[in-house]
Structure 1
Amino acid sequence: MTQSQDDKATAFVVQGSNRTNPEDNGVRKYVEKVSSVSGLSKPLIALAGGDPTGLENVYPPTVVRDKLMEVIRSSSYNSYCPSGGLSQARAAVARYYVNNSSVPLKAEDVFICSGAAGALDLVFASLCNAGDNLLFPEPGFPLFRSIANALNIECRYYQLDETNHFGIQLDSIRKASNERTKAIVVNNPHNPCGHILSTDEMIAVVNIAKELKLPIIADEVYEEIILDEESKFISFLSFSDQVPVFKISSISKLYVAPGWRIGWCVIADKFDSLYDIRAIMKRLSMRLIFPCSLTQAVLPTMLENASLQRQQVTQLIRQNAIAFKSIIQSAHIEGLYVSIPKAGLFLFVKMDPNRINLPDDVVFVDKLLQEQAVGVVPGQAFGIRHYIRIALTTSISNMEQAAYRIIAFCKEMAIN
């Protein structure tokens, strides 16, 4: 046997787990594709991800950055922090939502996690055994599926009504549930659609949750980015005297600090029906990786100064949305339909493949990246065809340039 044959015969072949597959998180796939693309004829305009640090001249407020420096200099937070988070961070989150909840909140009701994703992971893992299922919206954020698949949780879907601003089709919740359903997951405001549930819609969801005896997991991470001044966001915490609620949110969007990795789960449960789940979450929090003590120590200051950020961030996102829509509409492009979302960081743009002369949104996105160097995400990453998601987290000049490039692209496709 030759040396090479001998090496081959003794080589290790190590099989990986089946906890994930390439389609688990379609958004990240496109974000990474855009960030690694090469050989483009124009400077790249990356609008695939929702990283708010792309906004011009927007940072955590000075008082927050000063507090971080003070915390670092103090050397008081260099040790491990308690499971579930620093007591002052947990108490600050509870205070922040005290007026939004229909039941009293205390520090023990809050778990500080590594972003909203970490909070979702903690809740899903605490609620479900392998083979149990959760109800997710479709279209919806693919990270829900990604986390569930890694935990061997079945994903079942209720439908959003495309013809009615992506409101929830209530009967589809009942149809999707069965005896192994553990919770209804609601994303409000919704990513990618930008819809805010009305009070009537929320009451209807709560009534179904009561009927099915299921808690609500409310991903409300875009709660602060309300673009429609006539729309009012109401947290599901307001209904926690009727149904148990896990509220998920984070500092990432409003505070323009996704890299600080601070998120949380707030448990609101009038009848203490989640007693066992709390105990499991506490035990799981002993093995999960939580945010560093330094940034947790700054969280109270961040929440106390939220108003310093809210107006600036919301104004810039709204400005980008209006500018993009105005440019597209002025060009009279047939086959692209742009509407300003009620909330969030994205435009969810409908495309008519017949008028644009492309088969679907995936081909649209791939060709747009190669030919005009604009990176966006296809609707199919969220479970719906013939839409594209465009991040508004960039400069106004980038937003305008992207609109002009998309116009040129659509005109070229129509000719071909």
Structure 2
Amino acid sequence: MTRTYRRISPVAENYPASSIRKMFNLALDFPDAVKLTVGEPDFNTPEHIKAAGIRAIENDNTRYVANAGIPELRSAIARKYSRRWDRGIGPENVMVSFGAMEALTFALDVTVSPGEEVIIPDPSFPNYMGQVHRLGGVAVSVPVREENDFKLRAEDVRDAVTDRTAAVIINSPSNPLGSVMDRTELEQIAELADERGFTIISDEVYDQMVFDDAVFTSIAEVRPDFDRFLAIGSFSKTYAMTGWRCGFVIGAEDFIAPMSLLQEGLTSSLPGFVQEAAVAAIEGPQTDVDRMVSSYAERREILIDRINAIDGLSVVRPEATFYAFVNVKKWGLSSWELAIALLENHNLATIPGSAFGPAGEGYLRLTFAVSPETINTACDRLEAFAAGR
């Protein structure tokens, strides 16, 4: 009998590709395109943070450091979130990671076994699906609907829970939806987690990017004794540090302790000079953060006013992040067809809503982390498309 040898593993061969990155790559063929695609601050990293990183390099902090993160950074994160959440957080509750994506990887690694189910919102960040797939878990999607202001509902999560549910991923503030979950819904999901024994993995990387009177509540705040959570954070969006790749995860010590072993086998440690810069970000002046968030709020107003004035388009007002999830259903094209048409015929790059799950069909995600001039030019091109239909 002839044996067939496989070159590529099924996990790698079937890994779900991100349509965000696919559209990003297509847009490279249109160098003059106006891009409302990748969610990245258009601000530079604040000077005092850069200076701390440079100083750390000059002081030769370029060697291996502790797997879980340098004590100074773990302590700084613990102090910040102890104050914000009004609960005791110590450095033993903090793991420093290569961005929020590695934090998500660790969170899934310590809570989910192959074949177990992970509930994820739909639409949501597509890498959730990929990370569950990589682990050999089963992703179970729960729709998040526009009629509910794009907020995940506890009753929908309850309907999806089974005896195989190991974790529920929530994302508030939400990418791509710009929504903030209501505290009552979080409280009900926390009660359900205690009742059914699953862990809540809460992606909170946009926690400081909230506008107007919207109130963000962390899963860590719902009840002082609730500890079935892993809260994921990042320096990327808040401090315009996307390229520094510094993230973290906070949770009970029995969740966090194994993560340093996983880090040792994966990347060893995040560079010490990056972590020193992160300490400066937390402990230094926050005026740059306030300035950036204020600027995003102003740009949001421009985008929302322009979008809602275009025939056939509508958008729920984002409460947070720097994304708008625009309803394009009246234009009669699939979101991917529309994104391609806008790129090829109007030199405008957007992200189709279907990139975030089946429930995202009929929408485009537009980022307003770009200049007001770019927003207005993009809306001019959307108007031109509407006029030519």
Secondary structure in structure 2 of the residue aligned to 1:282: helix
Partner residue of 2:343? Answer: 369
Indicate if the aligned counterparts of 1:158 and 1:169 stay in contact, CA closer than 8 A. no
| Residue 230 (structure 1) aligns with | 213
Cα distance, 1:114 vs structure 2: 0.5
Could you report, residue by residue, the CA deviation over 1:200-231 in whole angstroms, capped at 9, with x for unpaired residues?
2221222222221222111000101112x111
**Match of residue 196, structure 1, among 162, 176, 180:** 180
Q: Secondary structure at the match of 2:201?
A: strand
User: CA offset at residue 22 of structure 1?
Assistant: 6.4
1:5 alignment counterpart: none
Q: Give 1:128 deviation, angstroms.
A: 1.7
Within 2, Cα distance between the matches of 1:205 and 1:132? 19
Q: Which amino acid aligns with 1:51?
A: E
Q: For residue 382 of structure 2, what is the aligned residue in structure 1?
A: 406
Q: What corresponds to 1:380 in structure 2?
A: 354
Check the 8 A contact 1:138/1:159 in 2, yes or no: yes
Code of the aligned partner of 2:347: A
* 1:172 partnered with 2:156: yes
Does residue 316 of the first structure (1) align with residue 295 of the second (2)? yes
Q: Per-residue displacement from partner, 1:358-402 (whole Å, max 9, x unpaired)?
A: 322111111001011111111111112100000112111111100
Partner of residue 100, structure 2: 116
Question: Which residue does 2:368 correspond to in 1?
Answer: 392
Kindly provide the CA deviation profile for residues 86-129 of structure 1, in whole angstroms up to 9, marking residues without a partner as x. 11111111111012335411111111000000100111112222
- Whichever residue aligns with residue 30 of structure 1, its letter is M
Q: How far apart, in 1, do the equivalents of 2:263 and 2:10 lie?
A: 24
Aligned to 1:256: 240
The amino acid that maps onto 1:29 is K
Task: Tell me by how many angstroms 1:314 deviates.
Answer: 1.1
Matching of residue 96 in structure 1 with residue 80 in structure 2: yes
User: How is 1:344-359 mapped onto 2 (pairs within 5 angstroms)?
Assistant: 344-353=321-330, 356=331, 358-359=332-333
Q: How many residues align?
A: 380
Matches within 5 A, 1:71-220: 71-75=56-60, 77-220=61-204
Could you tell me how far 1:14 is from its partner in structure 2? 7.1
Match of 1:50 among 39, 55, 72: 39
Which of the residues 22, 31, 43 maps onto 2:24?
31
Aligned to 1:8: none
Q: How far has the Cα of 1:351 moved from its partner?
A: 1.1
Match of 1:336 in 2: 313
Structure 2 CA distance for aligned equivalents of residues 22 and 245 of structure 1: 26
Amino acid at match of 1:214: F
Contact 2:300–2:322 (CA<8 Å) still a contact in 1?
A: no
Instruction: Classify 1:409/1:22 alpha carbon distance in 2 versus 1 (closer, same or farther; 3 Å).
Output: farther
In 2, Cα distance between equivalents of 1:362 and 1:22: 20
Instruction: Show the counterpart of 1:10.
Output: none
Paired with 1:151 and 1:132, the residues of 2 have a C-alpha distance of 10
> CA shift at 1:295, angstroms?
0.5
CA contact (8 A) 1:262 1:295 kept: yes
Q: Distance in 1 between matches of 2:288 and 2:127?
A: 26
Q: Could you tell me how far 1:407 is from its partner in structure 2?
A: 0.6
Whole-Å Cα distance in 2 between the matches of residues 86 and 363 of structure 1?
A: 47
Kept in 2, the 8 Å contact 1:128–1:182? The answer is: yes
> Residues 73 and 279 of structure 2 are in contact (CA less than 8 Å); yes or no, is this contact kept in structure 1?
yes
**Distance in 2 between residues matched to 1:221 and 1:403, nearest whole Å:** 28
- Summarize the Cα distance change of 1:89–1:132 in structure 2 as closer, same or farther, 3 Å threshold: same
Q: Residue 121 of structure 2 aligns to a residue in which SS? A: strand
C-alpha separation between the residues in 2 aligned to 1:407 and 1:176?
A: 40
DSSP-derived class of the 1:140 partner? coil
TM-score (norm 1): 0.87
Contact kept, 8 Å, 1:24 with 1:145, in 2: the verdict is no
Instruction: Give the Cα separation in 1 of the matches to 2:59 and 2:88.
Output: 33
SS of 1:167's equivalent in the other structure is: coil
Amino acid at match of 1:238: E
Judging changes above 3 Å, is the alpha-carbon distance between structure 1 residues 233 and 382 closer, same or farther for their aligned structure 2 residues?
same
Structure 1's consecutive aligned runs of 4 or more residues displaced over 4 angstroms after TM superposition are none
Whole-angstrom CA distance in 2 between matches of 1:299 and 1:284 = 22
**Same amino acid, percent of matched pairs:** 24
After TM superposition, give the deviation of residue 161 of structure 1 in Å: 2.8
